């Protein structure tokens, strides 16, 4: 069994173990007061475990649960009555599944014997089990199984520990604080001791910093999970929907080993599900259409994850009919989402589908077309600093490209000084840092000529303090690139590089457009992470126009 499958199984088992806990709770509720609500919940759990176990290739589990599911369905439909025996059966199933899942963690091909259970509750001779053999080896076998379960239990006690993300976050927060205190200590040691630094103190400080860093990255790694964890869900969503719609679709999954922060990954599930469902529903044509378009009858959806720089890209590609620009425009006008359609680029037209209340589906299916979906996708992605791009060729297919950061909480950054205050700039938007003499700048006012390229220039003092005077004769200039626009940004001084732990700021900080977040500086003071894209967006066109005018 490949590592990937192992991971999938593990993630299934994690999920299923949670569901079993819920199962047990529901059983206890049922014992108190049996109700339709609990039964429904129980059914959902059983169904869910059945589906996921099949998705990861554990068909035996699915088969076992199928028996239980049938019982629940009959209870739901009031075909049979809930009683103590049924409850005992549910609890018995819970016991079997708990043991089963536990052993599966160690041995993925394990099949837990459940013949006794069937015999007890269903009075059935299980098809694939020879009754006599069972009788003969009953005692022996039962002992063997319980031994096996016991041994696995012992091993697992040491091996796996499920920790809630909240606790990890708490841990990370504390470690962040620790590293800040560490650097405050270092700074004060430096100023306290000056040149006569005790080598022992210094080395232990260094060691402390190293250890803190290691702890941080280890703890941080706890949050990282492979994208593959959500692939099976997506695949299942595609399969389920395609079956319902009568379309045959082949799914290709690539790069499942790429790791993303658990929180981000959890947030991604909904938007990605939405997109694939859209692809199945609107993208891939039905058989007739495909035949007419001279395409293979089997549609294809490819999901690929790539590590790109600091972030991760997820591509969802289908070979369906693609987006119809004309229909999008008509719909947008009809819904009053847009007035003037002239001069809109292809990308801008595609962008319309992310507007709230937009849906192009001609009939309202039970899958999509309720007008919510793409706007939710957009909103969710924005929450996690993600971006989405659409490329589509009519008749050939559509490709969604989602760009998301690996982690929300750590940013490689540059600390700069502007008017005696320190600010933090994310490094990924910077292209170059150059020292420039002021006299070279003044000649052109708001333009800096960088290697022959004319870049609009603005000093952060002007942005942050509305000051135009700079103190030093040589200033560092940061060349940035945002959405293809290159711009030069001046600062007073560059203080250094830092791995900033991002602290989300309260919403009232939004009033300052130039801020994207907060962090704690190495000195222990709070610092602001500048929103370079917002600054470039605000000043780029303004400066360009101004320069053109002056030219």
Partner 1 sequence: MSEVYEEKDKYLVYRIGDELYASRLLDFVEVIEYTKPKIVPNMSHCFSGMINLRGLIIGVVDLRKKLDITEEFSGKPSMLICDTEVGPIGAIIDKVEYVVPFLQSEIQDLKLERKMDKTYLKGFFQYQENLITVIEIKSFVSNFDENTHSQENVA
Residues in contact with partner 1 by the rule CB under 8 A: 173, 176-177, 180, 421, 463-465, 503, 505-509, 511-515, 518-520, 524-528
Distance CA 382, CA 389 (A): 13
Q: Where are the alpha helices (DSSP H) in 322-362?
A: 325-334, 346-351
Residue 71 burial class via C-beta count within 10 angstroms: exposed 0-12, middle 13-18, buried 19 and up: buried
SS3 (DSSP) at 335: coil
Helix 262-278 vs helix 228-245: angle between axes, to the nearest 10 degrees? 20
Q: Are 477 and 436 in contact (CB under 8 A)?
A: yes
Q: How many CB atoms lie within 10 A of CB 109?
A: 9
**Least gap, CB of 267 to partner 1 (angstroms):** 20
Antiparallel, parallel or unpaired: β 430-437 and 474-482 = antiparallel
**Least gap, CB of 500 to partner 1 (angstroms):** 12
Q: Are 39 and 45 in contact (CB under 8 A)?
A: no
SS3 (DSSP) at 398: strand
Tokens of 426: 């994310």
CA neighbours closer than 13 Å in the CB half-sphere of residue 397? 14
Nearest to 251, CA basis, from 306, 303, 313: 303
Q: Are 231 and 253 in contact (CB under 8 A)?
A: yes
Q: Nearer Cβ to partner 1, position 128 or 508? A: 508
Q: Nearer Cβ to partner 1, position 493 or 503? A: 503
Q: What is the helix (H) or strand (E) element at residue 207, kind and residue range? A: helix 199-223
230 phi/psi in degrees, rounded to 5: -100, -5
**Least gap, CB of 389 to partner 1 (angstroms):** 30
Q: How many contiguous H segments (helices) and E segments (strands) does the chain have?
A: 17, 17
**Least gap, CB of 518 to partner 1 (angstroms):** 4
Q: Nearer Cβ to partner 1, position 61 or 529? A: 529
Q: Nearer Cβ to partner 1, position 322 or 527? A: 527
Q: Nearer Cβ to partner 1, position 322 or 518? A: 518
Q: Nearer Cβ to partner 1, position 71 or 528? A: 528
CA neighbours closer than 13 Å in the CB half-sphere of residue 157? 6
Nearest to 377, CA basis, from 398, 358, 405, 364: 358
**Least gap, CB of 474 to partner 1 (angstroms):** 24
Residue 436 burial class via C-beta count within 10 angstroms: exposed 0-12, middle 13-18, buried 19 and up: middle
Q: Where are the alpha helices (DSSP H) in 107-164?
A: 115-122, 131-159
Q: Nearer Cβ to partner 1, position 155 or 515? A: 515
Q: Nearer Cβ to partner 1, position 196 or 420? A: 420
**Least gap, CB of 177 to partner 1 (angstroms):** 5
Q: Nearer Cβ to partner 1, position 258 or 532? A: 532
Q: Nearer Cβ to partner 1, position 292 or 507? A: 507
**Least gap, CB of 176 to partner 1 (angstroms):** 7
CB environment 160-181: b (16+ within 10 A), e (fewer): eeeeeeeebbebbeebbeebbe
**Least gap, CB of 519 to partner 1 (angstroms):** 8
**Least gap, CB of 503 to partner 1 (angstroms):** 5
**Least gap, CB of 224 to partner 1 (angstroms):** 22
Distance CA 63, CA 52 (A): 12
**Least gap, CB of 492 to partner 1 (angstroms):** 14
DSSP state of 107: -
Antiparallel, parallel or unpaired: β 453-459 and 485-490 = parallel
**Least gap, CB of 464 to partner 1 (angstroms):** 4
Q: Nearer Cβ to partner 1, position 8 or 464? A: 464
Q: Are 129 and 115 in contact (CB under 8 A)?
A: yes
Q: Nearer Cβ to partner 1, position 520 or 532? A: 520
């Amino acid at each position: 069994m490949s590592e990937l499958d192992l991971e999938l199984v593990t993630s299934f088992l994690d999920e299923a173990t949670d569901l079993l806990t819920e199962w047990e709770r529901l059983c206890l509720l049922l014992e108190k007061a049996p109700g339709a609500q609990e039964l429904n919940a129980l059914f959902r759990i059983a169904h869910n475990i059945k589906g996921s176990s099949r998705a990861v290739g554990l068909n035996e589990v699915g088969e076992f649960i199928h028996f239980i599911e049938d019982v629940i369905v009959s209870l739901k439909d009031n075909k049979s009555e809930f009683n103590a025996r049924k409850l005992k059966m549910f609890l018995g199933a819970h016991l079997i599944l708990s043991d089963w899942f536990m052993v599966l963690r160690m041995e993925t091909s394990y099949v837990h014997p459940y013949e006794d259970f069937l015999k007890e509750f269903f009075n059935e001779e299980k098809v694939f089990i020879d009754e006599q053999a069972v009788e003969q080896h009953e005692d022996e076998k039962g002992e063997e199984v319980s031994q096996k379960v016991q041994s696995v239990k012992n091993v697992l006690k040491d091996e796996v520990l499920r920790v809630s993300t909240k606790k990890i976050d708490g841990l990370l927060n504390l470690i962040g604080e620790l590293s800040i205190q560490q650097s405050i200590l270092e700074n004060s040691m430096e100023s306290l001791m000056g040149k006569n630094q005790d080598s022992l103190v210094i080395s232990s400080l260094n060691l402390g910093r190293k250890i803190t860093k290691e702890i941080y990255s280890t703890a941080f790694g706890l949050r990282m999970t492979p994208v593959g964890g959500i692939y099976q869900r997506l695949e299942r969503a595609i399969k389920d929907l395609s079956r319902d719609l009568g379309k045959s679709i082949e799914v290709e999954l690539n790069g499942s080993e790429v790791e993303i922060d658990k929180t981000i990954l959890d947030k991604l599930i909904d938007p990605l599900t939405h997109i694939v469902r859209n692809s199945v529903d609107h993208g891939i044509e039905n058989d007739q259409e495909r035949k007419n378009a001279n395409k293979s009858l089997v549609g294809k959806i490819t999901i690929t994850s790539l590590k790109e720089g600091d972030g991760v890209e997820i591509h969802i590609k289908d070979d369906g009919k693609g987006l119809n620009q004309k229909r999008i425009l008509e719909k947008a006008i009809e819904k009053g989402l847009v007035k003037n359609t002239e001069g809109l680029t292809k990308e801008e037209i595609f962008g319309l589908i992310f507007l709230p209340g937009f849906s192009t589906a001609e009939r309202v299916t039970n899958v999509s077309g309720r007008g919510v979906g793409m706007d939710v996708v957009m909103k969710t992605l924005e929450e996690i600093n993600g971006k989405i791009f659409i490329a589509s060729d009519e008749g050939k297919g559509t490709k969604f490209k989602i760009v998301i950061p690996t982690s929300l909480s750590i940013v490689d950054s540059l600390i700069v000084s502007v008017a005696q205050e320190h600010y933090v700039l994310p490094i990924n938007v910077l292209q170059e840092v150059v020292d420039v003499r002021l006299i070279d700048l003044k000649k052109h006012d708001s333009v800096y000529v960088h290697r022959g390229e004319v870049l609009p220039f603005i000093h952060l003092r002007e942005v942050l303090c509305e000051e135009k005077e700079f103190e030093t004769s040589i200033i560092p200039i940061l060349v940035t690139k945002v959405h293809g626009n290159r711009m030069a940004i001046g600062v007073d001084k560059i203080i250094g590089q830092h791995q900033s732990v991002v602290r989300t700021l309260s919403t009232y900080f939004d009033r300052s457009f130039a801020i994207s977040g907060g962090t704690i500086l190495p000195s222990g003071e709070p610092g602001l992470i500048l929103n370079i894209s917002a600054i470039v967006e605000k000043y780029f066109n303004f400066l360009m126009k101004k320069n053109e005018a002056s030219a």
